[in-house]
Amino acid sequence: MQKITIVICNYNHGRFLADAIDSSLSQDYPETGVLVIDDGSTDGSREIVESYAGRIRALYKENGGQVSAYNDAVNMIDTEFVILLDSDDLLYKGAVSEVMQAFEAGDSVKVQFRLDVVDSAGKPSGKYVPHSVAPVDCGRLLRRGWLYPSPPASGNAYRTSALKKIFPVPEASSNRYGADFYAIYGVALLGAIAMIPKSLGAYRVHRTENTGIDFANSDSIDKAPRALTKRWSILRQLARSRLGIELPPSFHDFSLEKAYFCSAVYRASFAKRWRWVSRQSHGYLRSIVANPFWSYKKKIGMLALSSLCLLPYSPLSDFAVRYISNPLARRRL
């Protein structure tokens, strides 16, 4: 039986950390180890980790950001398989067993699975991520610049040997976060991706009461485009220097184009909405019409929904924008 490590990267999430550790220790796959990387927490997280002495491994480091924590984690992992679990998320009891079955069924470099979206108290929202199924050969489309549908960090399991070809990632003040971006998309350049079409864990969202256009725990609507563009640039450099793969200068991603679209038309005047669509909507429309991961039905539905954002009746238009941008607001709207 092959071994797997669940790595929990934590920074000041002490109020959730015990749940993440307990969910990892309760896995029904016998050869499961747990490693906690504490990135200089100041909220008492260290005491929580120390209470599990003898049951888990731990590294206490100075605060350096998520990229730094991932670099240390990948360097420390001594098993061929790993799940990188965020400290405010958790895994269901049979998650590791299902992941290992998927790895054993083929030569995948990554196995991904859905995550149920819960609020800060752990209450289910009725939503899950991701909504689309990624093809096995994500790398082929990635080489053309298409970011494939993936769950957040905690919904991914990797072959460590593949991760070690991507990490360490350069650490800089402008690149402290988003380490899962490099793992999720970098590894896809190295082999097949397997998808388990069921929820095997929970993704905790801390802003479920916000009914605006921001979504979950992601970067702000203004910051997200800049952050993703920076990460793509770094991934291109890593792919070129370490893998001999040349990625295109720009990438295609509905989430990013959605951020541009929603920030431009939300609560904007009727004239401003149409001006943006007539002059700047090419990328947004391309991310829908040419999206290789969506069915025709989904594309038509999204185009129809987007058209509602351009109606002169602003309450309905803004409703449509919120519906597109923030899935967590849908059950209330």
**Residue-level pLDDT at 224:** 66
**CATH code (residue 45):** 3.90.550.10
Residue 16 shares a structural domain with residue 102: yes
Integer Cα distance of 235 and 274 in angstroms: 35
Domain closes at, from 146, 177, 209: 209
Instruction: Let me know if residue 225 belongs to a domain.
Output: no
Which pLDDT score is estimated for 332? 47
The answer as to whether 275 is a domain residue is yes
On the question of pLDDT at 333 being above 50, the answer is no
The reply to whether 23 and 172 lie within a common domain is yes
Residue found under tokens 């005491």:
47
**Segment 61-104, tens digit of pLDDT:** 999 999 999 999 999 999 999 999 999 999 999 999 999 999 99
Q: Give the residue from 180, 209, 238 where a domain finishes.
A: 209
pLDDT at 280 over 50: yes
Q: What is the pLDDT of residues 187-238, one digit of tens each?
A: 999 999 999 999 999 999 876 444 455 545 554 555 666 788 899 999 999 9
The whole domain housing 97 covers 4-209
The number of distinct structural domains making up the chain is 2
In a domain, 122, yes or no: yes
The answer on 92 and 189 residing in a single domain is yes
Question: Within a domain: residue 229?
Answer: no
Q: HEC states along 89-131? A: CEECCCHHHHHHHHHHCCCCCEEEEEEEEECCCCCEEEEEECC
284 in a domain, yes or no?
A: yes
Q: What is the pLDDT of residue 218?
A: 53
As a dihedral over the C-alpha atoms of residue 81, residue 192, residue 143, residue 148, rounded to 10 degrees, the angle is -80
Cα 146 to chain centroid, rounded = 15
Whether the per-residue pLDDT at 170 is higher than 90: the answer is yes
Q: Which of 192, 209, 226 is the last residue of a domain?
A: 209
What are the pLDDT digits (tens) for 307-321?
Answer: 999 999 999 999 898
